[in-house]
Structure 1
Amino acid sequence: MTRNSAGLSFKHKLIIGTALLSPATLAGPASAQTGTDDIEEGDVIVVTGSILEAQQAAIAEKREAKNVVDVASADSVGRFPDENIAAALTRLPGVAVQRDQGQARYIQVRGAPNRWTSVSINGIPQTGTDEGSAGRAYRFDAVPAVLLSELRVNKSLTPNITAEAVTANVDLLTYSALGNEGFTASGDVGYGMMDLGDGEQRQGSLRLGWSDGTWGIVLGGSHYKREQVTDNREYGYSTGTDGTIAPTDIDVRSYLLDRETNGLYGDIEFQPVDGQVFHVRGIYTEFKDDEQRNAYQFELDEASSGTRTSTGGDLVNVPVDGAFNDAKYRNRNLILSTGADLEFDDWGLSAQLGYTRTENSTYLPLTLATTGGANNVSLTYDRSDPNFPVITGLYATDFDVDPITGDLINPRRGAAIDRFDPTSFNGFNFILPIVTETVSDSMTAKVDLYKQWDDFTVRFGGLFQQRDISGNIFNDAGIVPLAVIGQNVNDYAGSAPWDTGFPLGVSFTYTDNEALDDDQQRLLEQAGIDLSDLNPPQDFFDQKETIFAPYLMGEFELGDLQIIAGARAEYYKVRNSGTASTGGILTPLTFEDDYFDLFPSVNLRYNVSDDIVLRLAGLRGTARPAYAAVRIGSAINDVSEVIESGNPALKPEYTWGVDASFEWYLPGNGIFSVAAFHRWVDDVLYTGTQRVNSDAFDSDGIDRSNYLLSANFNGQSGTVSGVEFNVQHQFDFLPGALGGFGVQGGLTLLDGEFDALDAGGMVVTSDFPGLSDTIVNASVFYEKYGISARVSYQWRSDYIDTVGGLGIGDGEFRGAYENLDVTLRYKINDNFTVYADLANLTDEIYTAFDGTSDFPVEVEQIGARYMFGLRFDF
């Protein structure tokens, strides 16, 4: 395996990180007041609008926490150019992001697979759905950051937190209606542009609140939209004509996207007496992505003659494939809850009832077109830059005509042409329907109680949750020839040239995808064809999950030492229904499984002094397989004894872990911390081919336990470990204007691997998908005299790609990338602030490669983005 991150060992990086972030380089003279002098445990922290105050609020939360945790307050989030909470969370130590066409979608805490991070909203566990149900990972791009008051990353667990987490649980906290008395109004409006393609960017939010101390109501909403062009190149490889590894195809793409994120939030709270609060809350979020694809793939390896080498080529009679669509991606979340928080003299009760509905749908009728015969092209290409093989010459292809058969023979290079003709698709043109939908309905009941004595508190409670999940995966089994509905893709060729920042070598024009799709839908309806009906029955699944999880924990206050210890028990049951297709015969299948697990944990916090806190934690956690991964719907071949399906016998992954941290709360307002962790993980999930070894697919008396199954499996064991350095400090001890400067940043160093079996039963060792061995997050800010400015930088090293969270082997890597953002704020008065957000100023190019960076398989760019606007607060 070849890695392209810096060639330093983990040990060397650890030494460098310790030196760079040494406390001796950070401390300044003590100021008159520490950042937590006025904040006691249990106080309500009110953020009033400055970087310093937001930083103090988050640090105070971290200092008083019972576990290893990192916190971002809402105002801190608002001071970065982050359009959703995935981007906002990456400002915290050890959090990296996975992007889709440049936009943050998933997070990876401590570089681990995204499935190892669970999500709760106000303490109620959530689960994600994605295209084709490939993973449980939560779609953070569907949740606007402005709806939340606090983002809390629990890196060690306590028994009252769901055990469905290996590296972290992220708890998203909404605004409280009783947070401020009187009438409040806040929000923002903004407008800007995308550098690539000059598309517009806009955002707006409004939050209204009223409270008299007994009743409170808050209503909020947000909107964000961008019109984006995405440059994209994709390549395949094989042995060329000279024996070197050469490209098999050059796939040139331009995407036109309209992406939109909307959110609504409401909270009604009633407090008849102090310490007794009843609430009703509702959240609605949606992510909308309308994607027009223009793609031309030059099939170099199908040329009639010529040379195809790693550095360049000269080829005759090359077919060209086109791909066009106007796709609709949707992700919607409805989250409702009601409950009460009751506090009495020495005991308390918190109870919640919650309902969550998550819908994820993909409607992508992909129109595929091909050239043939006289419409094929001849070309020369140059691969001096592996990221950008350029077609240096494009030519027509001339033929002779066989006088007897009329066939075209003797292909040769014809006249030069300066652009690809989008009306030249004369081959087999058809619709590949990619239509999926996953719906999850979840009911939750959660109760937490505590009883307090002088130095001891006992907490106990439980959670009951039932989830009903139905959906389908994508299968390319069904197609619709365009001739069947009387459509010709050439009729939609346009004349507008591409917006691109990548070298092309030859020009292209946009196809009118919107008209193509509109006419296609009309023609399909007239022909009585519903594309969703082309999904085969074995691709659908219906699952019911039931979770019952009681817990018991004790908190011991022994002077400067606090101990939180206990255990959580979780009973999990799943009923999995689907259809087996065997030679055209459909058979319903059902598979049930259940298991009971104990998840102990202990967290120790020791106050060495007023400014230094040490923590040590041990825990056990789990991560459950994705819905599609355990589906029982299957295509069975009793002749070849092969099954294509999910694996209903999959077990969860389990972990034992330890965490330790050193936290120095700097004089004035800051923190320097070092946190280390280690996770031992068993039954690691990976993709492969093995014998079934169960009766899950048996029917009609046929034993299929020895058939070969290509699916996801439980591997052997693995480990993940790392060290996180974090610093936040404003140098307010400096004189005059210099006191406005400050820093915030983190360095995370990671290492990990796991063992699994390949198809031959041999042990294979692999890196974990998503594991970057280095993550850097650094900011320099200035805040004084009404000015608030920040320059922030992020970088992560390369990692194995896994959008769905599964993978094994050297496979496809995502290359290292960086982001540089600038935010500017000027406070006009107590009510109005003008701002400018400048994001991705490095104009980053995102790459994926096969084994080494010499062989990129995808290269992508979205360009910088700029937003200007006004914030208000009354």
Structure 2
Amino acid sequence: MFSNLTTFTFKAAALAGVSLLAVGATGALAADPAPEPAVADEDITEVVIYAPIRDSQVAALREQRNADNLVNIIASDTVGRFPDQNSAAALSRLPAVAVQRDQGQERYIQVRGAPNRWTSVSFDGVTVIGVDEGGSSRAFRFDAVPAVILQSIAVNKSLTPDLPAEAIVAQIDLKSYSPFHKNGFDLQGEFGLGEMDLGGGQQQQGSLRTTWSNGTFGVVAGVSHYRRDQVTDNREFAYDANGIISSFDMRNYLLRRQNDGASLGFEWRPAVGHVLFAKTIVSEFKDDEQRNSYTFQLGSALGGTRGATSGDLVGVPVRSTAEDGQYRTRNTINTLGGDHDFGNGWDVKWRLNETKTKNTTELPLLLQNQQFNRLLRPSLSYTLNDPKFPILTLYSTVNGATAGTYARGAAISTLNQGAFDFNIALPIMATTKSTSRTVKVDVTRAFNQWTFKGGLQHDDREIEGNVIGQSTVILPPGAGDLRAADYVTSKPWDTGFASGITLNYLDNTRIRNDMEARLKALQTAGLYNPANNIAKSDLYSIDEKLTAGYGMAKVEFNTWQVVFGARVENMKQTIRGFTNAAGVITPVEVENDYTDFFPSVNAKFDLTEKLVLRGSAQRGIARPSFGAVRAGASISDTSTPGTVTGGNPYLEPEYTWGGDASLEFYPSTDSVLSVSGFYRHVENVLYNSRTKVGDARYDSPTVDRSNYDFVSTLNGDEGKLYGLEFNYQQRFAMLPSPFDGLGFQGNVAVLDGSFDTAARKDVPFPGTSDTIVNTSIYYEKYGLSARLSYQWRDDWADTLGGLGLGSGGDEYRAAYENLDLTLRYAVNQNLTVYADASNLTDEIYMAYEGDLSHPSEVEQIGRRFMAGIRFNF
């Protein structure tokens, strides 16, 4: 296990070798480059046309060097100098930060390979909670936050008591722009157009931010927009108990994804040392998705042979799925605050915040199923020379020599997309809403070498929603029947995946409109009730009242300092839901009330002017998702044994003790070489499983359900997560011109960890890659700013199968790499032209079961290109 921390992959070793060779060749770590021009604090976050990467790096490293804790920072214009449309993509540039993608677009981040629920998020210092589809996670969705509305992003990897304790591996603070970044009037913006390589869809982005201040009053306003029309190639697979392919999906998605953001802020400085402000941030992620899917159910063929690498089958059922769905995530963040320096070492900061988040999923699926007329089913042969891409040869299916038998007929060129005689409508939907109100006060008193700080915070949260639910509506034949042949278009799929056949797109929008009209008619006839789309047992509401107080002290000596203290948090939860037992709906309410103590200590030692040693220890917490702790459950008394499927309001939070240590060398203001390590011991690890109910909570007066199977999220035993991080940033100013414009940024994280359950030992944490690599080489001179960025992460467990009982169903994500190129040229002081090329390796993202010869999902979105202008006045 620990060998993963001492043995790099070839790519990680190559990175380290290149870095050290560069250092040795130039003597970069032995001598300072030429003195840098002074940069005033108020100007460090401006767009500096001729050295944007360097100046942002200076600002970030200065803040990181002076911080009380272990932190990584993206400062100022760096956020906009990558081809990153959302904050998740920008964060992935930092050490030990990996990204989770959905159809190629960055959505969640995983710091140090940990589950995303182990990271908390704040906007301008105020905690915001994540709300995902159906409340399945507390993880914050970064794809709803455009990168361009942010001034800086800080990843706090060790905690101080003034930070929320709900952060096992990291606390991320997203900081919006201040109008006082520059005196007077300032206007910055950009506009770009581009193309998606796969399908030729358009990209477009634009942003505008303006500020004005006169030293006393300031205002900042900004808007941003990004949209892309995307094709997603997708294949999904299932296997039987012998590992032989039993079905596979040929899927193709037409997407329109859009990120929009707007911000407005006012600041007033009525006197020296006093600031009052009001800020509003609104961001929204939209995903309009048309799905075209055909599932070849090889395991249900009428006859023939099915092998691991090839097969010849007669009468293979095919299921068609058509969808025109919508996903939405919207955040509205309103903050009032004040920072007050009263002199004599007294400082007070206060915040009032209301944050509203809404996530909606609306997926009206239409299944067109070939189950009745067996002569509609194709016969086929397949080969799996490449297990990712089954190659098909199709034939008709004809009656056999004897009654009731079937045989392979003549070869046909492609699938008959109109050959379906049975329709099922599946209205699938979920809505989760949260409202959080926060009051926060921090008081600081500094004198001599001591600084004392204390504060109070109260969060009042209301969450309501449902897990993703559906009803099944069989659409009987009749007037307005949805015949598949009526919706097949003449446009072939845009695909780069080999299949041996061609397919055409369906008119999914018209299918949805006609299906909804058909459901409306059934509703009028009393044959369909949309109120049943969401079962009562899927509904939940949760009230949380979190009250926290902390006290801490910092003592500073000539060359070292220690920050120590503790945080106390009390959580009161009221969880409401419904159980469904044989159609009997019963309301359920559960209350939880617990108080926790979170001590921490951070020490920093300035071994020399350029060498910093840090160490820290802390206790943290991660609370279960809203969907996991919902009180609702669906009970089946007909199976043997019976089953209870639903939430688990009695889940305990995950608790951790951990430590961090780092050694940081700053050879110049824009360079750093560091190594850090961390360890987290976790109790009550959360995982999905099947066990026995074990008590009377679901009993009725006549039925004992204590021995029923309970399918839900459970607490496991103990776990551990640990790793090493290596980071190197250097601008090679000591090289002769013109090579003194070269620079390098690179980091490598080597990780390991596992946890135990009652049935399994050494279970991998979902999301933990053994190795994560982020590197970039840049050049800035003569008005040119160019950067080539490379990311790579090793395989990782994605979904734990076997319901916690065995590893046979574990699904892994295969390693992937990402190569991006950004070019900027300053035409003059006010105008810059740019070009971005993303995903130059044209990555195929793959999930698999057991090994790469058993892929479960294969996906590709193609390269992306963008060009445009940036301006500032």
Q: Structures share a fold, TM > 0.5?
A: yes
Alignment of 1:414-453 (within 5 A): 414-426=409-421, 428-453=422-447
Structure 1, 162-171 or 339-348: larger mean CA deviation? 339-348
Q: How far is 1:568 from its partner?
A: 0.4
Aligned position for 2:769: 772
Q: How far is 1:48 from its partner?
A: 2.7
Q: Distance in 2 between matches of 1:534 and 1:424?
A: 28
Q: Distance in 1 between matches of 2:394 and 2:571?
A: 61
SS across alignment from 2:756? strand
Taking a change above 3 Å as real, the CA distance of residues 373 and 55 of structure 1, as seen in their structure-2 partners, is same
Q: Distance in 2 between matches of 1:74 and 1:381?
A: 54
Contact 1:96 1:796 in 2 (8 A): yes
Alignment of 1:190-589 (within 5 A): 190-238=192-240, 245-345=243-343, 346-371=345-370, 372-391=373-392, 393-399=393-399, 409-426=404-421, 428-476=422-470, 478-481=472-475, 483=477, 486-490=480-484, 491-528=486-523, 529=528, 531=530, 533-589=532-588
Q: How far is 1:336 from its partner?
A: 0.5
Contact 1:34 1:668 in 2 (8 A): no
Contact 1:648 1:696 in 2 (8 A): no
Q: Distance in 2 between matches of 1:713 and 1:872?
A: 53
**Length, aligned pairs only:** 852
Taking a change above 3 Å as real, the CA distance of residues 572 and 725 of structure 1, as seen in their structure-2 partners, is same
Taking a change above 3 Å as real, the CA distance of residues 35 and 111 of structure 1, as seen in their structure-2 partners, is farther
Taking a change above 3 Å as real, the CA distance of residues 25 and 128 of structure 1, as seen in their structure-2 partners, is farther
Q: How far is 1:669 from its partner?
A: 2.2
Alignment of 1:467-866 (within 5 A): 467-476=461-470, 478-481=472-475, 483=477, 486-490=480-484, 491-528=486-523, 529=528, 531=530, 533-638=532-637, 640-667=641-668, 669-693=670-694, 696-697=697-698, 704-757=705-758, 762-802=759-799, 810=807, 811-866=810-865
Q: Distance in 1 between matches of 2:826 and 2:531?
A: 53
Contact 1:765 1:809 in 2 (8 A): no
Taking a change above 3 Å as real, the CA distance of residues 45 and 293 of structure 1, as seen in their structure-2 partners, is closer
Taking a change above 3 Å as real, the CA distance of residues 229 and 178 of structure 1, as seen in their structure-2 partners, is same
Contact 1:218 1:267 in 2 (8 A): yes
Taking a change above 3 Å as real, the CA distance of residues 247 and 281 of structure 1, as seen in their structure-2 partners, is same
Contact 2:287 2:327 in 1 (8 A): yes
Contact 2:45 2:76 in 1 (8 A): no
Alignment of 1:35-74 (within 5 A): 46=46, 48-49=48-49, 50-74=52-76
TM-score after normalising by structure 1? 0.94
Contact 1:35 1:56 in 2 (8 A): no
Taking a change above 3 Å as real, the CA distance of residues 296 and 443 of structure 1, as seen in their structure-2 partners, is same
Amino acid at match of 1:121: F
Cα shift readout 1:440-496 (whole Å, capped 9, x = no counterpart)? 111111111100111000000011001110111123553342648843141212121
Q: Distance in 2 between matches of 1:565 and 1:296?
A: 59
Cα shift readout 1:717-747 (whole Å, capped 9, x = no counterpart)? 0110000111111101111110011100100
Contact 2:33 2:733 in 1 (8 A): no
Structure 2 unaligned spans of 5+: none
SS across alignment from 2:628? helix
Q: Distance in 2 between matches of 1:38 and 1:695?
A: 68
Q: Distance in 1 between matches of 2:570 and 2:257?
A: 40
Contact 1:27 1:666 in 2 (8 A): no
Q: Distance in 1 between matches of 2:871 and 2:360?
A: 36
Q: Distance in 2 between matches of 1:138 and 1:698?
A: 37
Taking a change above 3 Å as real, the CA distance of residues 800 and 525 of structure 1, as seen in their structure-2 partners, is same
Q: Distance in 2 between matches of 1:183 and 1:526?
A: 59
SS across alignment from 2:532? helix
Cα RMSD of the aligned pairs, angstroms, is 2.2
TM-score after normalising by structure 2? 0.94
Taking a change above 3 Å as real, the CA distance of residues 268 and 485 of structure 1, as seen in their structure-2 partners, is farther
Q: How far is 1:55 from its partner?
A: 0.7
Structure 1, 482-491 or 828-837: larger mean CA deviation? 482-491
Aligned position for 2:133: 131
Taking a change above 3 Å as real, the CA distance of residues 43 and 823 of structure 1, as seen in their structure-2 partners, is closer
Task: Decide which of 158, 177, 180 is 1:178's aligned counterpart.
Answer: 180
Structure 1, 697-706 or 325-334: larger mean CA deviation? 697-706
Taking a change above 3 Å as real, the CA distance of residues 119 and 9 of structure 1, as seen in their structure-2 partners, is closer
Aligned position for 1:405: none
Q: Distance in 2 between matches of 1:667 and 1:27?
A: 12
SS across alignment from 1:756? coil
Q: Distance in 2 between matches of 1:191 and 1:605?
A: 47
Structure 1, 733-742 or 695-704: larger mean CA deviation? 695-704
Contact 2:316 2:377 in 1 (8 A): yes
Contact 1:21 1:725 in 2 (8 A): no
Taking a change above 3 Å as real, the CA distance of residues 376 and 494 of structure 1, as seen in their structure-2 partners, is same
Q: Does 1:121 align with 2:84?
A: no
SS across alignment from 1:514? helix
Contact 1:766 1:808 in 2 (8 A): no
Cα shift readout 1:119-174 (whole Å, capped 9, x = no counterpart)? 11111111111112111111000000000000100000000000001100110000
SS across alignment from 1:374? helix
Identity %: 45
Structure 1, 634-643 or 718-727: larger mean CA deviation? 634-643
Structure 1, 766-775 or 364-373: larger mean CA deviation? 364-373
Structure 1, 415-424 or 107-116: larger mean CA deviation? 415-424
SS across alignment from 1:630? coil
Q: How far is 1:46 from its partner?
A: 4.5
SS across alignment from 2:7? helix
Cα shift readout 1:57-81 (whole Å, capped 9, x = no counterpart)? 1111100111000000131111111
Structure 1 unaligned spans of 5+: 403-407
Q: Distance in 2 between matches of 1:66 and 1:368?
A: 57
Q: How far is 1:376 from its partner?
A: 0.5
Q: Distance in 2 between matches of 1:680 and 1:773?
A: 18
Cα shift readout 1:600-638 (whole Å, capped 9, x = no counterpart)? 000001111111111001000010000010111111235
Q: How far is 1:559 from its partner?
A: 1.3
Contact 2:429 2:470 in 1 (8 A): no
Taking a change above 3 Å as real, the CA distance of residues 351 and 164 of structure 1, as seen in their structure-2 partners, is same
Structure 1, 381-390 or 28-37: larger mean CA deviation? 28-37
SS across alignment from 2:469? coil
Taking a change above 3 Å as real, the CA distance of residues 352 and 158 of structure 1, as seen in their structure-2 partners, is same
Taking a change above 3 Å as real, the CA distance of residues 366 and 269 of structure 1, as seen in their structure-2 partners, is same
Q: Distance in 2 between matches of 1:457 and 1:440?
A: 37
Contact 1:74 1:146 in 2 (8 A): no
Q: Distance in 1 between matches of 2:36 and 2:441?
A: 34
Q: Distance in 1 between matches of 2:859 and 2:834?
A: 29
Cα shift readout 1:94-118 (whole Å, capped 9, x = no counterpart)? 0000000010000000001111111
